[in-house]
Amino acid sequence: MDDDALLAEQMAYYRAGAAEYDRPYAEREELKRLLAAVDELPIAGDVLELACGTGQWTPRLAARARSVTAVDAAAEVLALARARTASPTVQFLEADLFSWRPPRRYDTVFFAFWLSHVPPTRLPDFWNTVAAALAPGGRAIFIDDGPAAAAEEEVLANQPAPAALRRLDDGSQYRIVKVFHDVQTLTDDLTALGWSVRIRPVAGNFIGIAEPPATAG
């Protein structure tokens, strides 16, 4: 089965639900703690933020970076991100992360709660894109849900990729890709792709720091 329709539905969900996107950040203490954890991460230089959403993470990245290029495919969430972020060192771009290729290299590539939305069959290509976007000595830093978060989702069976059903306030419902990565399995998968990676669990989430294969780029 092809995952294109599932990804299109995922995009429709984030476009339609832009106004509801920030609600978990206001309600969930673990997300507030994860936002604060950015200050302890090795974020430096020119930063590429993938799937920036409404810009919850962007100002925190900008405070530590020389510049931030924040990319998302949904114009509706980007409009909210622009309104939230006044820094002159931040540039926002609208682009489909499954086809877009960065035109330059960055010292840090950051993505929060995006890896779980990448179908497993597309993970090697995704990590190749991240590697190609990193300058020599650069790092990828990522935050996402661990397996425990599955208990909070309506997980679907028999889909083209691991998926969950999400509902918006108006009653509409959408399938999204949702992969609940196990820390050890993700570490092993990245190591097999040639990455040097350290991933630590944080409550029901995880934070990862990875350096690309020496031959990348």
* DSSP assignment string, 148-195: GGGGGSEEESS-SSSEEEEE-TTS-EEEEE-----HHHHHHHHHHTT-
Low-confidence ranges of the chain (pLDDT < 50): none
Q: What is the pTM of this model?
A: 0.96
Tell me the two tokens of residue 39: 């200050």
Q: What is residue 216's predicted lDDT score, i.e. its pLDDT?
A: 55
**Edge-to-edge strand order for the sheet containing 163-167?**
154-156, 163-167, 173-177
Q: What is residue 2's predicted lDDT score, i.e. its pLDDT?
A: 83
Query: What are the strands, taking DSSP E only, across the chain?
Result: 46-50, 67-72, 90-94, 106-112, 134-145, 154-156, 163-167, 173-177, 196-202, 205-211
Q: What is residue 86's predicted lDDT score, i.e. its pLDDT?
A: 84
Tell me the two tokens of residue 104: 């330059």
Q: Is the dihedral of CA 101, 103, 108, 112 positive or negative?
A: negative
Q: What is residue 129's predicted lDDT score, i.e. its pLDDT?
A: 96
Q: What is residue 214's predicted lDDT score, i.e. its pLDDT?
A: 84
First to last CA, the chain: 32
As a whole number of angstroms, the distance between CA 207 and CA 70 comes to 19
As a whole number of angstroms, the distance between CA 76 and CA 53 comes to 9
Beta-bridge partners for 110? 49, 141
Tell me the two tokens of residue 77: 């969430």
The amino acid present at 171, given as its one-letter code, is: G
As a whole number of angstroms, the distance between CA 80 and CA 190 comes to 33
Cα 148–chain centre separation: 18
